[in-house]
Structure 1
Amino acid sequence: MEDNRTENAGLELAVNTDFAGESTRLEQIRTTLERIAQAGFTHIHWCHEWDREYMYSPYEMQQIREWMDEYGLKSKALHSTKGSAKDVNVREGHYRKDYTSDWEYNRRAGVDLIKNRVDLAQALGAAEIVLHLYVPYITIQKKPEVKEDFYACVFRSLDELMPYCMEKNVRICIENLFDMPGEYMLEAWDRLFGRYPEEFLGLCYDTGHANMVWREQAPEILGRYAHRLYAVHIHDNNGAMDSHWIPGEGNIQWDKVMETISGSAYEGPLLLELSTNELDQAGYLRKAHEAGCRLDGLYKKGRADA
């Protein structure tokens, strides 16, 4: 298998581990890490089991870390999970391990699930985890009184998580989503960042989600929260679907996006969050790495000019 690590020596770049989907076969997971390294990536964004209720054993954490060490990989962030699958736009019914739940034991189980991901992040050497916060806006539109109860549950969970995260030196980053109107995401950020310190809570800027919701205004909106930007998910689309294309394959204006990121609190490496069905995974990763290198040039130029 061709090794691309000698090119662009010294350049750091991250990619998600589930770029070609998730496999429960351990040999396949190990091969994926090997291919990521051979394509020239220096860091991974662990995205396996980013959804649902899977709990990692300490032995699994150790196994993943040893594979990373074997292939010379480091960790840049890790994707946490909100808990069971559900209709995220409404607040009705109860689903397991939900940190926003108003059933106390279930909420605490959701906190334990996030703590598990904090433990995994620490084991892999990641400084932050990415977390989805779905505001049940359809229910809130019909029953405005639900909003404060929802946030009260969220605050209780984050209050419990903060000392745990601070002790482990792992920050939680709330990701912008496309499952709700943009104003609900901004309100959530304003509420959370007004309550919690940046050492504990930041934001993850997903370029594809932002393009779907805010289009050409996305860099400007990101700029308002640049001081809280500690994680990124970089990928492209045409504004209609969450395609997770390689940067340059959609219509995102990357010069403006990278200018904003370079002037923020974010410290590299840049992180690509991609998805493909291509059979030639090695070739796909090389193409993705080349695109990432181009963005890295824009990012470093912006940092130098700042």
Structure 2
Amino acid sequence: MIELGFASDFGGQSTKLSEIREGLRRISEAGFTHVHWCHEWDGDYLYAPSEMLQIKSWFDTFGLKAKSLHASKGSRIASAMRKDMEARKDFASFHEYSRQAGVELIRNRMELAEVLGAREIVIHLYVPYLTFREQPGSEEQFYRQVFKSFDELKPEAMERGIRICLETMLEIPAREQYRQFDRIFARYPKEYIGICWDTGHTHVILNEDMTTFAKRYRDRIFSVHLNDNLGGPRIDLDGKEELVWCCDMHWIPWEGTIDWEAVTDVLAESPYELPIVLELNCHEKNQKEFLRRSYEAGIRLANEMERKRI
């Protein structure tokens, strides 16, 4: 039997218990074996221990396992390109108490991951590159805070056996992400921090060159969000590439323009362990049909990846 993962919020981020439970039932009914828990991926919501047990009971009821969990970086922000100085529970905050609260928020997600049996958590790290340009010294201050938070989280993460995976982002030009990952990976081992490769995000920022990005960090790919879109046009302003539009639709693989042959080439050469995870958004009335097509695409990807590893 081929194992396959699916994002829990494919039908939206409902807060109604019945609708969350129904979403998991439909995932299981479609044939998926694993879940990427993606509810409350954004914001400063804290799970109570009783809620963690409730989610685990739903997983058990429907015979589902947890592949990964999407943690939150804190309060929603107006722009990923500039530092939000007022964000709550932000592990990269320049305000020390907010930074500490952000660390506690990630610890909360690590606890949930352990209850569900997930071995990796995914985090967005927004690199405020426009603030770096406008405020000299802000880049060093930003990374001081980020490193302080990761240093504090490391002992617990290693003890729990949970890896932090930084997601590839669509709001940040590739060159800025290269600087970010190079700097962080030089400091922390792959046993602690890796990458969550979101194929849709890298397709937006790099189009046909998206696998160049993934190949550079291939040995750090431990989590994936596989989804399709149409890419994203960019413009060069005074020698500085800027994102001007994006179309991150989270479509089913092969329903957009991503080269999935190239994607599976990279995954087959990476340390990524099955099951793969599809992170898709359903905007169709017929969810059953959407899940059927999603499952078929996922099986095709998993088979291709395994074939290339033989």
TM-score (norm 1): 0.95
1:185 aligned counterpart, secondary structure: helix
Please give the alpha-carbon distance, in whole angstroms, between the structure 1 residues aligned to 2:37 and 2:301.
Answer: 21
- The question of 1:136 aligning with 2:128 is answered yes
After superposition, the CA RMSD in angstroms is 0.9
* Per-residue deviation, 1:224: 1.6
Alignment match, 1:300: 306
Please give the alpha-carbon distance, in whole angstroms, between the structure 1 residues aligned to 2:276 and 2:58.
Answer: 22
Alignment match, 2:81: 89
* Per-residue deviation, 1:279: 2.0
Please give the alpha-carbon distance, in whole angstroms, between the structure 1 residues aligned to 2:133 and 2:53.
Answer: 45
Is the contact between residue 30 and residue 295 of structure 2 (CA under 8 Å) also seen in structure 1? yes
1:214 aligned counterpart, secondary structure: helix
Render the CA deviation track for 1:274-295: whole Å, top value 9, x for unaligned. Answer: 0012122122111100111111
Please give the alpha-carbon distance, in whole angstroms, between the structure 2 residues aligned to 1:44 and 1:93.
Answer: 34
- The question of 1:258 aligning with 2:264 is answered yes
Match of 2:178 among 186, 189, 214: 186
Alignment match, 1:234: 226
* Per-residue deviation, 1:189: 0.7
Q: Which residues in structure 2 correspond to 1:69-84 (within 5 Å)? A: 69-84=60-75
* Per-residue deviation, 1:92: 4.7
Render the CA deviation track for 1:166-217: whole Å, top value 9, x for unaligned. Answer: 1111110001101111111111111111101111100010000010111122
1:246 aligned counterpart, secondary structure: coil
Please give the alpha-carbon distance, in whole angstroms, between the structure 2 residues aligned to 1:28 and 1:189.
Answer: 37
Please give the alpha-carbon distance, in whole angstroms, between the structure 2 residues aligned to 1:175 and 1:166.
Answer: 19
Render the CA deviation track for 1:250-285: whole Å, top value 9, x for unaligned. Answer: 000000111111110111101000001212212211
Please give the alpha-carbon distance, in whole angstroms, between the structure 1 residues aligned to 2:84 and 2:115.
Answer: 36
Q: What fraction of aligned residue pairs are identical, expressed as a percent?
A: 47
* Per-residue deviation, 1:52: 0.3
Match of 1:278 among 274, 284, 309: 284
Is the contact between residue 85 and residue 93 of structure 2 (CA under 8 Å) also seen in structure 1? no
* Per-residue deviation, 1:88: 2.0
Please give the alpha-carbon distance, in whole angstroms, between the structure 1 residues aligned to 2:302 and 2:254.
Answer: 13
Alignment match, 1:108: 100
Alignment match, 2:160: 168
* Per-residue deviation, 1:218: 1.4
Please give the alpha-carbon distance, in whole angstroms, between the structure 2 residues aligned to 1:279 and 1:133.
Answer: 33
* Per-residue deviation, 1:221: 2.1
Q: Which residues in structure 2 correspond to 1:205-224 (within 5 Å)? A: 205-224=197-216
Please give the alpha-carbon distance, in whole angstroms, between the structure 2 residues aligned to 1:84 and 1:92.
Answer: 10
Please give the alpha-carbon distance, in whole angstroms, between the structure 2 residues aligned to 1:105 and 1:274.
Answer: 35
Alignment match, 1:247: 253
Please give the alpha-carbon distance, in whole angstroms, between the structure 2 residues aligned to 1:154 and 1:33.
Answer: 34
Please give the alpha-carbon distance, in whole angstroms, between the structure 2 residues aligned to 1:286 and 1:121.
Answer: 27
- The question of 1:125 aligning with 2:114 is answered no
Please give the alpha-carbon distance, in whole angstroms, between the structure 2 residues aligned to 1:17 and 1:109.
Answer: 26
Please give the alpha-carbon distance, in whole angstroms, between the structure 2 residues aligned to 1:92 and 1:33.
Answer: 34
1:53 aligned counterpart, secondary structure: coil
Match of 2:138 among 124, 146, 160: 146
Render the CA deviation track for 1:40-67: whole Å, top value 9, x for unaligned. Answer: 0000000000000100011111011111
The number of equivalent residue pairs is 295
Render the CA deviation track for 1:135-180: whole Å, top value 9, x for unaligned. Answer: 1111111224211110000000000010111111111000110111
Please give the alpha-carbon distance, in whole angstroms, between the structure 1 residues aligned to 2:159 and 2:118.
Answer: 14
Render the CA deviation track for 1:208-251: whole Å, top value 9, x for unaligned. Answer: 00101111221122112111110000000000311000001100
TM-score (norm 2): 0.93
Alignment match, 1:59: 50
Match of 1:50 among 41, 53, 61: 41
Render the CA deviation track for 1:103-132: whole Å, top value 9, x for unaligned. Answer: 111100000001100001101000000000
Unaligned runs of 5+ in 2: 233-246
AA aligned opposite 2:285: L
